[in-house]
A and B are shown apart, each in its own frame.
Chain A
Amino acid sequence: MSDNSHAAIRTDALTRVYKMGETTVRAVEDVSLEIRAGEFVALLGASGSGKSTLLNLMAGLDRPTSGAIYAHGKNLAEMSSEDLAKYRGHTVGMVFQAFNLLPRMTMAENVELPLRLAEVDRNERAARVQEAVKRVGLSARTAHRPTELSGGEQQRASLARALVNRPTILLADEPTGNLDSATGTEIMNLLREINQSLRMTIVMVTHQRELAEKYSERLLLMRDGKLESDGVRQ
């Protein structure tokens, strides 16, 4: 296996097995891969192929049954839950299909939430929120609640929230899944812009092959928990 000093994420025989009653589900099985820093990777696969489980393992939200997963050289499988929380707060940012903005907070407060959790100084927070909101083009909507925003705006807000702590890895789980195609294209353009201007590593789960082929540099295809193909787009 290659040196992982330039790898944002590397997995070695990564396996995640669930018990569902009497049934054993091998959601991720023996996956070994390496994602270099600054890469835009699409994780493709049908429903139940294990792509979201792999993304959750990369996000430190789940622990592998066996194998190892490294983020910037640190094995997430060996981290304490406290260290995993710090990793989620500082190293990765997450974007969800359902946006997952907290409805009782304004957009700016939602974006500020990771800064609160990371105990960033109050004075610095406002500037960081403004910076993130400006990047996604939502400066005029900061005082609005999520229910007052369109789907595209909510996903932009979710993206701003993911970026506000200046992570090195952005993990997106079906970011356009709840959006129409025009809005989805806007979000994808935004992700590409972030990837190119910030050299941020992006791993995006999607089942839309054409979207993956258009925007990502590399396609990882999952089937039945296994990595079926790993191809760099020409």
Chain B
Amino acid sequence: MHIPDNYLSPSTCAALGAAVAPVWALSVKKVKKEITKAKMPLLGIGASFSFLMMMFNVPLPGGTTGHAVGGTLLAILLGPFSACISVSVALLIQALFFGDGGILSFGANCFNMAFVLPFVGYFVYKFIKDRVRTEKGEFIGIAVGSYIGINAAALCAAIEFGIQPLLFKDAAGHALYSPYPLSVSIPAMLIPHLLVAGVVEAVFTVAIFAFIKKVSPGTIYEGAKEKSKAIYGLLAALILMTPLGLLATGTAWGEWGADEIQEVVSNGQALGFIPQGMQNGFSFEAMMPDYSVGGIPEIAGYILSAVAGVALLLILFKIISSLKKANHSVHE
């Protein structure tokens, strides 16, 4: 579910980043209030826990393996606000040091996996747990919560992918970023998550929770009961705000509506006229006439290819000599 760079437009990334920022601010505030100073290191250690959780390969039927995200588990163990910070930091390290998920799409990834996943998972769990007050109810709550949590996150990612071809096209009607519309992206993301990843997540979450509850029941986060109503309200508000945040890309909103209607009416024939409006909305698009024609002066081209050629030769030479060295030491 880690969205790499260049699949989402920069403005979508910015909008999603802006949508997560208040959640981060609220989380830091909440965590400062809820967690004593003595427990502050737990945030970082929770982040490393969630990072390592993704390294755990779980056997799947058919001999393959998959991995869980563990967002709901962290939310249940540490509280949703701490989970939000921990997962965000884990995602940042993955993006910065391991190339897993993009730098620009960091906000989008945090929105899906550090906000939607733990919060939806946690509140579904809490909703069921507060109504079915038995141990079974608790476990059902965890299973359902983690299952719904990961699928909600996958749905958000699918929507983010799916709105790209509607919002961002070049003059010829070709998508500039992810080219698949909602009708493709939603099933492509949701079917594997509904069938496989969601089940893995639910089983893994329940199993770990059961283990911790048995071994050390005191360590599990106790959400404040009287506040739950306010939190439901907050969650509802945030969910309602989500599409607003997604579509807060300036002029694109109106054009998207027109574009969609146009597509429905004339079966995709009206592509020559809508992008004009989009060009006015985004100055950088107007600046670029055509990606394949706009060239550079011949001399600059020569210099560039010379630099690339020399660099390539150097790289080849270095790799070959390192391979030779490796061979040599093996023979010795």
Partners in one complex: no
Residues of A within 8 A of B (CB): none
